[in-house]
Amino acid sequence: MPHLQNLDNSDQHLRAIFAPCRTIAVVGLSPKPHRDSYHVAQYLQQQGYRIVPINPVAAQAGASILGQPCYASLSQAAQALAAQHIHIDMVNVFRNSADVPPIAQEAIAIGAPCLWLQLGIRHDEAAAQARAAGLQVVQDRCTLVEHQRLHATGPF
């Protein structure tokens, strides 16, 4: 993924994030179809992205969401996917802003190229740490909305 020093949320920046992305770990993905996390992940899956559910409660129960096995953590998911030669390209966060720092640290540790905090989620300190480690960071934006908007304005 190209490194963009000017880490704005311009269309060019967002396109640079989506274009190479194939596998998205969704932290806080709910098994409940009426929840935003489920709806957004389902949309992304329908667009051809591999969705990796991160939900400790569902993982402990051995559940799957959107037909994919759940993992208790990003590290657990990254390790399992590495055995299949799959790398997590984006960490998409559906958790409270206060929960972001350890998620950002884990995203850094697994070498994810992008940390995306969904609409209403911001943590400037964690975002700065992720950027300093070389990750692309988007805060307070919805992947579904941005993907639809960018797709409507032309191919990636």
Q: Is the pLDDT of residue 7 over 60?
A: no
Helix, strand, coil percent values for the chain (each to nearest 5) = 40, 15, 40
Residue 73's domain comprises: 24-120+135-151
CATH code, 34: 3.40.50.720
Per-residue model confidence as pLDDT tens digits over 76-133: 999 999 999 999 999 999 999 999 999 999 999 999 999 999 999 999 999 999 999 9
pLDDT level of residue 151 (50, 70, 90 thresholds) = confident
Q: Compute CA distances 105 → 30, 66, 99, 140, 142, whole Å.
A: 22, 26, 11, 18, 21
CB atoms within 10 A of CB 144: 17
pLDDT reported for residue 9: 72
Query: Is position 4 within any domain?
Result: no
CB atoms within 10 A of CB 25: 27
Please spell the DSSP secondary structure of 60-116, one letter per residue.
HTT-EETTEE-BSSHHHHHHHHHTTT----EEEE-S-GGGHHHHHHHHHHHT-SEEE
Domains in the chain: how many in total? 1
What pTM does this model have?
0.92
C-alpha pair distances (Å), 71 with each of 31, 121, 152 = 13, 22, 33
Q: Which residues of 74-106 are buried (b: 16+ CB within 10 A; e: fewer)?
A: bebbbeebeeeeeebbbbbbbbebebbeebbeb
